[in-house]
Structure 1
C-alpha cells in the first residue's frame, strides 16, 4: 500500500484528467488536487513544462517523481495501491487482457478531433452540433488554439534551457490545430469512433444478467475510459450520433446506468463555467474582497453565461492581462 502523498495536476473539464479523477474516486484513493487552468496556458509555464514537456494534464506526483498520460497513470496506481477495488483483473489472465484491449481500443478514438472538428464542420454532426454551455466553451477553445505562440515565445525567452521543448510544443499545437480544421480528418475520426462503438455494443450485448460492466460484473479501467468517452459525447450534445434513440441500445442502457453512478456524476456532470470562473477569481482577485464578493460576482457571471451573453473571450483576455 502506497502511503506517500499523491498529487494530481488536473483541469476538471479535461477529458484525460477526468479519467484519472474517475479512477481515483472509484478506488477511494486519497490525493491532493492541483488545479491547472489550461485555458490560460498555465500548463505551458516553465515549471510545469519541466514536469511534463508536452504541457498537458493530467500529471501525478508520487514518491518524488512525475508521471503523465492517463492510461499510464492508472496502470501505475494499480501497482502502487493494493486496496480494493482493483480495476484490473489479476496478471496473466484472459480477463486482464480483455480489459486492457478494450481500454486501448477506446483510447484510440480521437475525441478532440471529433469535438473540435464538429465545431468547424457542423454538418458532420448529422443535423445538430455542440450545444449550450459546452458549445460556447469549445468554440472559444477552438478559436484560441492557434493563439498560444506569444505565451510560448515569452516562456522560451525566459527559459533558454527549454527552447527545444517549446519549439516542439509549437509544432504539436500547429499539427493538432490542422487536424480539426481538415474535414476529411474529422470524418475519419467519427467513422473510427463508430467502429469502436460497434464492437463495444456487441460485447455489451453478450453480457449476462448482473454483468453490467464492459468486461463482466466488475468495473475495470476499460469502463473508466468508456465512461469518460460517453460523458464527453453526451455533454457535447452529440450522443444521438452514437447511441441514443435506439441506435446502440446496449450502450444506451450502459449510459443510463452511468447516470446513476455517484462517481460519474461527480466527475462528468461538469459545469464548464464553474470549473473556470471560480478558481480563476479565487486566484486572481485580492483576498480583501472576501468570499461573499467572489460568490456574488460568480452568481452574476453564471446568470449571463446561462443566457449566452457572457463573453468568455473578453473575460479570459482580461485575466491574462492581470498575469
Structure 2
C-alpha cells in the first residue's frame, strides 16, 4: 500500500519528512498543501491532521502528523534498510540521539519570521522583501478570524480549530528580542556541531566518498536530516554569513556542499528555496482547483508544468512579483 505525503515544499518540517522518504526510496504519492491559500486549515485536511500543519503521512489507516514521528515510522516499515535512528549496537548512536534532540530545540519558525521582519540581521536573504511586522500581524489576525468562522461552520472540528487558534495566538514570531535570542542559541548549537564534524572528518573538506562518515555514523541518520534541512533554511533566511561563510565553521560549509550532491536532498529540497516554485505555483494550482474543480486533470497539470518550465528558462513575469503574498 503506497504512502501519501501531505506537505508544502517551502515548509521546513515538510522538508525533513520528504528528505526521509526520499532517503528510504519508498514509493509515495505527493499531495502539496498550499499555505498561502489556507489549505492546511480546510476541513478535509483538518480531518487528516487536526493540528492543521504539514507534513502528514498517511499509510492505509495509519496517520503520522509530526516530522520526527514520520521519520521513525519509516524505520519501522523498512526493517532491512539502515536506520535513521540506529540502536545502541551501532557506533555513534548515542550522538545521533543527543544531536537530534539538541537541534530539536532550535526555534526555526522564530528565526524564519525574524529574518523576514528584521532584514538588518540578514545577508542575501531570499525571503520576500515586502513582508514586515505590520503585514505579519495582519496575516496572523486574518488566519485567526478564518479559523473561528470555520469552527462555527464545522462543529465536528470545533475543538481542533480552537486548539489551533490557541497555539496560533500564543506565539509571537515577530518579536525582535525572541528572534535575537533564537539566533544566539542556534549559533551555540552550530558551534557544537562544527566540533562534532571536526572530530569525524579530521581536516577533510572535500572529495568525500561513500566510506566517509556523516554527522554521527557511517550512514545518513535522522541527525543528518535535521542538519541538512537546517542549513538549507539558513540559506533561505539569509543567515549563512552568521553560521558558516567566510571561513567561519568550515566543516559546516563542507557538510552543506556535500549534502547538496545527495540525490535524495536534490529531490526533496532542490527547489524549496525558490519561492515562486515552492509557494506561488502550489497557490496557483490550489486556486484553480477551488475555482474549477472539474478541470484538475491533465490539462491543469500540463499548464502548471509549462509555467514552471517558463519560469526556469525565461524568468518571472512582472505580475508575479506584484501578487506574491506569503502567509506562513
Smaller-chain TM-score bracket:
0.7 to 0.9
Distance 1:217 1:78 in 2: 17
Superposition deviation, residue 306 in structure 1: 7.6
Q: Residue in 2 aligned with 1:312?
A: 324
Q: Residue in 2 aligned with 1:106?
A: 103
Q: Residue in 1 aligned with 2:264?
A: 263
Q: Residue in 2 aligned with 1:22?
A: 19
Distance 1:293 1:26 in 2: 30
Distance 2:306 2:58 in 1: 35
Q: TM-score, normalised by structure 1?
A: 0.84
Selected match of 1:275 from 270, 275, 278: 278
Q: Residue in 2 aligned with 1:184?
A: 177
Selected match of 1:68 from 55, 65, 69: 65
Which stretch of the first structure deviates more once superposed, 283-292 or 268-277?
283-292
Q: How does 1:190-229 map to 2 (within 5 A)?
A: 190-208=183-201, 210-229=211-230
- 2:8, 2:14 within 8 Å by CA — same for their partners in 1? yes
Tell me which of the two structures has the higher relative contact order, counting C-alpha pairs closer than 8 angstroms and 6 or more residues apart.
2
- 1:52, 1:59 within 8 Å by CA — same for their partners in 2? yes
Which stretch of the first structure deviates more once superposed, 277-286 or 242-251?
277-286
Q: Residue in 2 aligned with 1:320?
A: none
1:70-98 Cα offsets, whole Å, 9 max, x none, are: 01110121112123243232346563232
Give the gaps of 5 or more residues in structure 1.
318-323
Query: Alpha carbons of 1:258 and 1:203: their partners in 2 closer, same or farther (altered >3 Å)?
Result: same
Which stretch of the first structure deviates more once superposed, 238-247 or 273-282?
273-282
- 1:146, 1:173 within 8 Å by CA — same for their partners in 2? no
Q: Does 2:47 align with 1:54?
A: no
Q: Residue in 1 aligned with 2:7?
A: 10
Q: Residue in 1 aligned with 2:35?
A: 38
Q: Does 2:170 align with 1:175?
A: yes
1:198-229 Cα offsets, whole Å, 9 max, x none, are: 11000000014653410132111100010000
Give the gaps of 5 or more residues in structure 2.
205-210
Matched position secondary structure for 2:36: helix
- 1:99, 1:220 within 8 Å by CA — same for their partners in 2? yes
Q: TM-score, normalised by structure 2?
A: 0.83
Which stretch of the first structure deviates more once superposed, 9-18 or 154-163?
154-163
Q: Residue in 1 aligned with 2:232?
A: 231
Distance 1:52 1:289 in 2: 28
Query: Alpha carbons of 1:109 and 1:306: their partners in 2 closer, same or farther (altered >3 Å)?
Result: farther
Superposition deviation, residue 304 in structure 1: 3.9
Superposition deviation, residue 35 in structure 1: 1.3
Query: Alpha carbons of 1:170 and 1:202: their partners in 2 closer, same or farther (altered >3 Å)?
Result: same
